[in-house]
Homo-oligomer: A and B are copies of this chain.
């Protein structure tokens, strides 16, 4: 207590010229008098009800009054208290977003899409990360419910194999939209890209480039996107008369190390693969590193395609072909779906599933045949 007093004393002495020395930092003199609609009411000479209605452009308030109120509000720098409003009409104007991680171009772009769409409609977003951890995802749902969000948008974590935590959201009647990493075990609106078609195109492109022994990197099969990508890969092979070999499908965590290990595995098994279509950009970079370490020439000996168009795919040597998932568009559509749910008529609707098209981006890692059709400099396949 002595010591404390000592310090406080010093502070007190030094801070007698509060404004001069310490500026505004915690300066007790600067009392934040909150201004409410009542202050406006006083100013204009009406009641708070009228002010509230004027501010909300209620039809029963005369234009003259509205004008006065608006002006007074501006004059005294009024800021509506969203919390009070939220309490009254039960809407927080907050949207909760759960993504595995925002530290991915794909997800942060989706978030941006949602954010812009929502902000334009006077809604704000709360972003949470599940870090692909099931427990954290459950907690996060709870936290968002706690925060009284008006809706929740989710991309599932990789380890999420049970969906009970979403039932409470649904039961509370809170709009729920899934995007990208979804499940069919829940009857919920969703926005996805056409993973099947994208994978089909990617695989087809590899075949066009003369690759015939195409491996596939995938992740846990509970998540639909990986299943779909596998399906597209498989179908493209079959449609081109190429045997589908389950041994060529390698499962991993789809991170850098997973990709490295998977590539190592392929090399060790000597299946004679000449291309990899990976469901993740991270894994394909890992593979690229491992292959280069083993003096495998890309794309001459092995062709590579990733998935997601992460920025670094442009920076590798050679640049990696990949699939652009139109992340911003996914975000916008997800948000749009939410607003449809809260604005549309409340009668039950069948589940909506928006499927967007993806874009194959062809770079060097899969371009064995010169894109110009001259045969001059073309390296012959194999």
- Give residues in A with beta carbon < 8 Å to B: 8, 11-12, 14-15, 18, 22-28, 30, 32, 79-84, 86-87, 92, 94, 101-105, 108-109, 111-112, 115, 119, 124-129, 143, 145-148, 170-173, 187-189, 256, 285, 288-289, 292, 311-312, 314-317, 341, 345-351
For A285, what are the chain B residues with a Cβ–Cβ distance below 8 Å? 315
Asked, given contacts A26-B341, A87-B87, A127-B127, whether A11 binds B349 with beta carbons under 8 Å apart, the answer is: yes
User: Do A129 and B147 have beta carbons less than 8 Å apart?
Assistant: no
**Can you name 11 A-B residue pairings with CB atoms under 8 Å?**
A11-B347, A22-B348, A24-B171, A25-B349, A28-B346, A28-B348, A32-B171, A83-B148, A103-B109, A103-B112, A312-B315
User: Do B30 and A171 have beta carbons less than 8 Å apart?
Assistant: yes
CA distance A105 to B347 in the complex (A): 43
Identical chains bound together, number:
2
Query: Which of B103, B119, B126, B128 lies in contact with A108, CB distance below 8 A?
Result: B103
User: Do A83 and B79 have beta carbons less than 8 Å apart?
Assistant: no
Q: A11-B348, A22-B348, A26-B346 are in contact. List 18 more A-B contacts (CB 8 A).
A: A8-B347, A11-B349, A18-B348, A22-B350, A25-B189, A27-B348, A28-B347, A30-B173, A32-B171, A81-B87, A102-B111, A103-B108, A115-B129, A124-B126, A124-B147, A125-B126, A292-B317, A315-B315
For A22, what are the chain B residues with a Cβ–Cβ distance below 8 Å? 187, 348-351
Query: Which of B25, B143, B315 lies in contact with A187, CB distance below 8 A?
Result: B25
For A316, what are the chain B residues with a Cβ–Cβ distance below 8 Å? 315-317
**Smallest CB gap from A34: residue in B:** B90
For A101, what are the chain B residues with a Cβ–Cβ distance below 8 Å? 108
Q: How far is the CB of A121 from chain B (nearest CB, A)?
A: 13
Pick from A8, A25, A86, A170 the residue with the most CB of B within 10 Å. A25
For A80, what are the chain B residues with a Cβ–Cβ distance below 8 Å? 146
For A27, what are the chain B residues with a Cβ–Cβ distance below 8 Å? 348
Q: How far is the CB of A183 from chain B (nearest CB, A)?
A: 14
**Smallest CB gap from A169: residue in B:** B24
CA distance A189 to B23 in the complex (A): 12
Asked, given contacts A87-B87, A115-B129, A315-B285, whether A82 binds B348 with beta carbons under 8 Å apart, the answer is: no
Query: Which of B12, B30, B292 lies in contact with A347, CB distance below 8 A?
Result: B12
User: Do B8 and A345 have beta carbons less than 8 Å apart?
Assistant: yes
CA distance A101 to B84 in the complex (A): 31
**Smallest CB gap from A292: residue in B:** B317
**Smallest CB gap from A175: residue in B:** B26
Asked, given contacts A285-B315, A312-B312, whether A24 binds B115 with beta carbons under 8 Å apart, the answer is: no
